[in-house]
Amino acid sequence: MTIVISPFVFGLIVLPFLHKIKLRFHKWVGIVPLVLFLTILKYKSSIINGNIVSEAYQWVPSFDVSLSFRLDGLSFIFALIITGIGFLVVIYSKKYMHSESAISRYFSYILLFMSSMLGVVLSNNLISLFVFWELTSISSYLLIGFWFYKEKSRYGAWKALLITAGGGLAMLAGFILMYTVTGSFEISQILSQKELIKSSPFYLTILVLTLIGSFTKSAQFPFHVWLPDAMEAPTPVSAYLHSATMVKAGIYLLARLNPVLGGSSYWFYMVTFTGILTMCYGSIMAIRQRDLKALLAFSTISQLGLITSLLGVSTETAVIGAVFHIINHAAFKGSLFMVTGIIDHEAGTRNLDELGGLGRKMPFTAVVALIGALAMAGIPPLNGFISKELFFEAVLVDGWAGYVLPALAVFGSIFTFIYSMIFVISPFLGTYKPKEKTVHEAPWGLLLSPMILGVTNLALGIYPKLVADIISKGAANILGKYVDAHLSLWHGFNVPLLMSLIVISFGCLLFSRLNYVKHIIEKIQMKKINLNKLYDLFQTGIPKFAGFITEKQMTGFLRDYLVYILSFVFLSVGLTSLFFMELSIPNLNLERIDVYEYVVAAIMVVSSIFLLFTRKRLIAILILGVIGYMVSLFFVLEKAPDLALTQLIVETITLVLFLIAFPHLPEITEENSKRSTKIINAAVSILTGLTVTFLMVYSKAYKIYESVSSYYIDNSLLLGGGKNIVNVILVDFRGFDTMGEITVLGIAAFSVYALIKLRLGGRKYE
Amino acid sequence: MEFLMALVVGVFFAVSIYFMLSKKLLKVVFGTLLISHAANLMLLTSGGLKGEKAPILSDGSTLSYADPIPQALILTAIVIGFGVTAFILVLTCRLYKTFATDDLSILRGEANEK
């Protein structure tokens, strides 16, 4: 399974290297996906026999993260689509991008994406799946922004990255919750513990987070906004990433985790209805588009919605339909994108208003487009018809949803039919419109890939049994039970066939009144709720909001910072402890206080309050001295001779220092602050003081741990060789702390010296 | 006794923070000086007061020692507090001399800071 890494190696090392030494290897890049395709195909018989190929390498074993790969029916189908379409896209790109000077870079990105996408579908570990998932977002970003000199490309690339990578983060949170429930990141182990997750209180959270990841990636409403803008990418990229593979990563995740998360009513309603609404929304919006690629983008949104809703229903029919439609959609949408690329390439425009009558000039392209469009519309005998029938059959569920879903399904499919017709009729039939007069059939290099896909569409439609066995395996992996898919073109006369007939007849009817239909859609379209505007609002609003907060907070005044910090301390520490602590009055030990202790405390309190009101500098300095000496007296009372001595010396020196500095000190003058500022200052100070008192009282009342002091008392003589425990701690046990202290004092001394020196030397200030 | 000290420390904190919120340089210096006293007293109190004798080993005595750890911490804190006080005191003098103002709201540096 290490083959997953091979495109990485080719894309990131071999290609740039060969480019450097001027070897034009990119002409042969197609070999990489082709070999991968054949290697994976080799496992077919083994997969059909129900085997699972797996391989694991340790990555971060301490976090249960491994590079483990697992190839079962579901992964097999995805891996074939990724490598198969990848091969065709590479062949197509070689011709399409031939005039591009940075083609080597282009193929590097494509291979990087191919590896990442294979990693997503083959990973057996949620974390490595996440890493590969985000790598697909990054390579998609690089490819959408390939023509980075275009403003719109950069916009589209950034939008796609923000939305899909953001959704990926939500998904990661979901994965981590899954880990906390099951104790494993390995998908195979999580699948075996599905009951545990379903009964867990986190089930709904996990489900919602994972769905956000999946819906953002698969462009489901309301996260679809990035996909139309992603059409700024070169057309082969749109064909590969934004219709056939990457946008199906979300679908893959839904399918992969269906056994674990699926089956609940939450799953059913959220997934099915998101899917079916996205389908209707996408197909209606597709009709309005003038740009062929935009039409296909909305059509992709709609088709992804269809698959999502099938996975939401997740009955046997639904899942078979979903898997089959994943294959079909990759085939027909891939070919249609390539046709768009051909039209763009040959006629020089993708605008429907400027296209028409191309059918006679480019008959092969027209035929391929017709096959693809008919498959998309669900017309027999093409593959799209079969999966659409399965879709109609699947939405006929019990209960009230059994009325709503089929109605919406038919409604959406009518519009799907219409835009499919627009795609094939507008550019190819009618009068010849392009400005370019010499339009001719595309070269074989461009035609080959869509033709192969067109043949696939036909083959799968006429002989669906070709893939029935692997679809059964894929569906079995999604449902977690044995499935036998019977696919056939003709199902007999039944309700789904009736629904198809309604779709086709209404579709033809409305298509003949196309302008009228467009007019109505334009009218209904709500101008107020524009999701793109909302996204742009976020883009400009978040920096604005951040700027506003910064402006308020970073004022540059010490006072404001202190007010913010202390208010936060009061709110977080003070209030929470008031709310959550038991408010029993602790034992105050009042009887143990001696009279002289009262005196010391009283002098300290009174002098500090007096300090507040004095206007004379000298008195203030003397009061500070009094407080300092009282503190040292307190140290004496509390049996701390070293402290008392130090405090006494320090206090004396401080006093001397103040007196030396006295002539240079400013007067204490009245502050010209606003009254409200003073009140806030007073409130903040008093509340902080109260918080401190409160904390001290309660920390005394709730002593949880034993003091570690006994260690020092016992070992002071033994290990430190001194009887004065405080001294031994300072110079022995915590010697480095004292070292730091001396350093600080030294720095302070140097700074003081420098400040004084600066004053003497810097005469220009005097 | 702890309760009494809790009150004293609370008052110290309130007064020193009120000083530090002031615009006047000298008051900020006073606040800094006072808050280091408050922190020292708080540390000592949190270790438990009313030890029966100083933490100096002596033989044959059954009296309990005062907790040595807060004392060791405070000793360091006193010295560092002194360093800080000396520094900001000189800094205050220097600022006042250089800019001829003791108002912090005027000492704002260049206008293009934003």
pLDDT greater than 90 at residue A252: yes
**Shared-domain flag, residues A414 and A504:** yes
- Residue for token pair 């309760």: B3
Instruction: Give how far Cα A321 sits from Cα of A240, A260, A383, A480, A485, Å.
Output: 22, 20, 11, 16, 9
* pLDDT of A520: 79
Rounded to whole angstroms, the Cα distance separating A131 from A125 reads 10
Mean pLDDT of B65-87: 91
Cβ contact A664:B97 at 8 Å: yes
CB contact under 8 A, B47 and A707: yes
* pLDDT of B75: 92
Q: Which range, A318-327, A431-440, A534-543, B50-59, is most confident? A: A318-327
Mean pLDDT of B33-37: 93
Confidence of residue A280 (pLDDT cuts 50, 70, 90): very high
* pLDDT of A629: 94
Is any Cβ of chain A less than 8 angstroms from the Cβ of B74? yes
Residue type, B30: F
Residue type, A505: S
Confidence of residue A766 (pLDDT cuts 50, 70, 90): very low
Cβ contact A69:A56 at 8 Å: yes
Confidence of residue B114 (pLDDT cuts 50, 70, 90): very low
Mean pLDDT of A260-270: 88
**Shared-domain flag, residues A637 and A571:** yes
- Residue for token pair 């569920």: A397
Task: Kindly report, residue by residue over A11-64, the tens digit of the pLDDT.
Answer: 777 777 777 776 666 677 888 888 888 888 888 888 888 888 888 888 888 877
Q: Could you give the number of structural domains in chain A?
A: 4
Confidence of residue A591 (pLDDT cuts 50, 70, 90): low
- Residue A279's DSSP bridge partners are none
Residue B41 C-alpha from the chain's centroid: 9
- Sign of dihedral through CA atoms A517, A379, A502, A281? negative
Residues 6+ apart with CB under 8 A from B40: A631, B74, B77, B78, B81
Confidence of residue A581 (pLDDT cuts 50, 70, 90): low
* pLDDT of A424: 86
Task: Give me A644's structure tokens.
Answer: 């008392």
**Shared-domain flag, residues A318 and A291:** yes
Confidence of residue A436 (pLDDT cuts 50, 70, 90): low
C-alpha closest to that of A687 among A565, A557, A553: A565
Rounded to whole angstroms, the Cα distance separating A249 from A137 reads 10
Identify all chain B residues contacting A682, using CB atoms and an 8 Å cutoff: 18
pLDDT greater than 80 at residue B78: yes
Better pLDDT: A620 or A63: A620
Q: How many CB atoms lie within 10 A of CB A697?
A: 19
Task: Give me A648's structure tokens.
Answer: 């006494």
Beta strands A65-71; A53-60: pairing state: antiparallel
pLDDT greater than 50 at residue A227: yes
**Shared-domain flag, residues A694 and A752:** no
- Residue A65's DSSP bridge partners are A60
- The domain limits of chain B are 2-50+66-104
Structural domain boundaries, residue A717: 709-766
Give the minimum alpha-carbon distance from A608 to chain B in angstroms, rounded to a whole number: 7
Give the minimum alpha-carbon distance from B48 to chain A in angstroms, rounded to a whole number: 8
Helix (H, G, I), strand (E, B) or coil at A431: coil
Residue type, A267: W
Q: Residue A644 is part of a domain; what is its CATH number?
A: 1.20.120
Task: Give me A723's structure tokens.
Answer: 């009887």
Asked if the structure places residue A246 within a domain, the reply is no
pLDDT greater than 60 at residue B45: yes
Residue A285 C-alpha from the chain's centroid: 26
CB contact under 8 A, A612 and B18: yes
Task: Give me A154's structure tokens.
Answer: 């950069």
**Shared-domain flag, residues A352 and A485:** yes
CB-nearest to B37 from A563, A628, A724 is A628
Is any Cβ of chain B less than 8 angstroms from the Cβ of A588? yes
Rounded to whole angstroms, the Cα distance separating B28 from A374 reads 81
CB contact under 8 A, A758 and B50: no
Task: Kindly report, residue by residue over A150-203, the tens digit of the pLDDT.
Answer: 888 999 999 999 999 999 999 999 999 999 988 888 888 888 888 888 888 899
Better pLDDT: A493 or A117: A117
Q: Side-chain half-sphere of A223: how many Cα atoms within 13 Å?
A: 25
* pLDDT of A188: 86
Better pLDDT: A530 or A507: A507
Identify all chain A residues contacting B2, using CB atoms and an 8 Å cutoff: 589, 696-697, 700
**Shared-domain flag, residues A374 and A444:** yes
Q: How many CB atoms lie within 10 A of CB A577?
A: 14
Rounded to whole angstroms, the Cα distance separating A371 from A103 reads 31
Number of A:B CB contacts under 8 A? 265
Rounded to whole angstroms, the Cα distance separating A355 from A359 reads 11
Rounded to whole angstroms, the Cα distance separating A77 from A674 reads 73
* pLDDT of A31: 83
Cβ-in-10-Å burial (0-12, 13-18, 19+) of A588 comes to middle
C-alpha closest to that of B16 among A697, A692, A696, A553: A692
Is any Cβ of chain B less than 8 angstroms from the Cβ of A558? yes
CB-nearest to A624 from B24, B30, B76 is B30
Helix (H, G, I), strand (E, B) or coil at B24: strand
Residue type, A515: N
Asked if the structure places residue A300 within a domain, the reply is yes
Looking at residue B53, the DSSP 8-state letter turns out to be: B
When scoring B2, B42, B85, B88 by the number of chain A Cβ atoms within 10 A, the one with the most, hence best to mutate, is: B2
The number of residues in chain B equals 114
Rounded to whole angstroms, the Cα distance separating A298 from A289 reads 9
Residue in chain A closest to B110 (alpha carbons) equals A556
Helix (H, G, I), strand (E, B) or coil at A71: strand
Could you say which of A445, A478, A512 is where a domain stops? A512
Asked if the structure places residue A569 within a domain, the reply is yes
**Shared-domain flag, residues A433 and A550:** no
pLDDT greater than 70 at residue A661: yes
Cβ contact A507:A418 at 8 Å: yes
pLDDT greater than 70 at residue A760: no
CB contact under 8 A, B20 and A558: yes
Question: In chain A, positions 620-649, which contact chain B (CB-CB < 8 Å)?
Answer: 620, 624, 627-628, 631, 634-635, 638-643, 646-647
Residue A750 C-alpha from the chain's centroid: 51
Is any Cβ of chain A less than 8 angstroms from the Cβ of B2? yes
**Shared-domain flag, residues A457 and A581:** no
Task: Give me A230's structure tokens.
Answer: 């992603």
Residue type, A763: R
Rounded to whole angstroms, the Cα distance separating A275 from A681 reads 57
Confidence of residue A484 (pLDDT cuts 50, 70, 90): confident
C-alpha closest to that of A178 among A197, A152, A160, A201: A197
Cβ contact A720:A734 at 8 Å: no
pLDDT greater than 80 at residue A529: no
Task: Kindly report, residue by residue over A354-398, the tens digit of the pLDDT.
Answer: 888 888 888 888 899 999 999 998 888 888 888 888 898 888 888
Looking at residue A732, the DSSP 8-state letter turns out to be: I
- CATH fold label, B2-50+66-104: Helix Hairpins (1.10.287)
Identify all chain A residues contacting B33, using CB atoms and an 8 Å cutoff: 624, 654
Asked if the structure places residue A549 within a domain, the reply is yes
Asked if the structure places residue A662 within a domain, the reply is yes
Of A222-236, A455-469, B56-70, the least confident: B56-70
CB contact under 8 A, B22 and A716: no
- Sign of dihedral through CA atoms A137, A139, A144, A148? positive
pLDDT greater than 90 at residue A566: yes
Is any Cβ of chain B less than 8 angstroms from the Cβ of A666? yes
pLDDT greater than 50 at residue A671: yes
Mean pLDDT of A399-409: 87
| Average pLDDT over chain A, rounded to an integer | 86
Residue type, B24: K
* ipTM of the predicted assembly exceeds 0.85: yes
Instruction: Give how far Cα A530 sits from Cα of A220, A275, A533, A535, A583, Å.
Output: 16, 20, 5, 9, 53
* pLDDT of B30: 93
CB contact under 8 A, A643 and B81: no
* pLDDT of A306: 92
Identify all chain A residues contacting B113, using CB atoms and an 8 Å cutoff: 556
- Residue for token pair 């867990």: A200
- Residue for token pair 């590079």: A67
Is any Cβ of chain A less than 8 angstroms from the Cβ of B6? yes
Residues 6+ apart with CB under 8 A from A93: A106, A107, A110, A234, A236
pLDDT greater than 60 at residue B111: no
When scoring B25, B28, B63, B71 by the number of chain A Cβ atoms within 10 A, the one with the most, hence best to mutate, is: B71
Helix (H, G, I), strand (E, B) or coil at B56: strand
Task: Kindly report, residue by residue over A205-221, the tens digit of the pLDDT.
Answer: 999 999 999 999 999 98
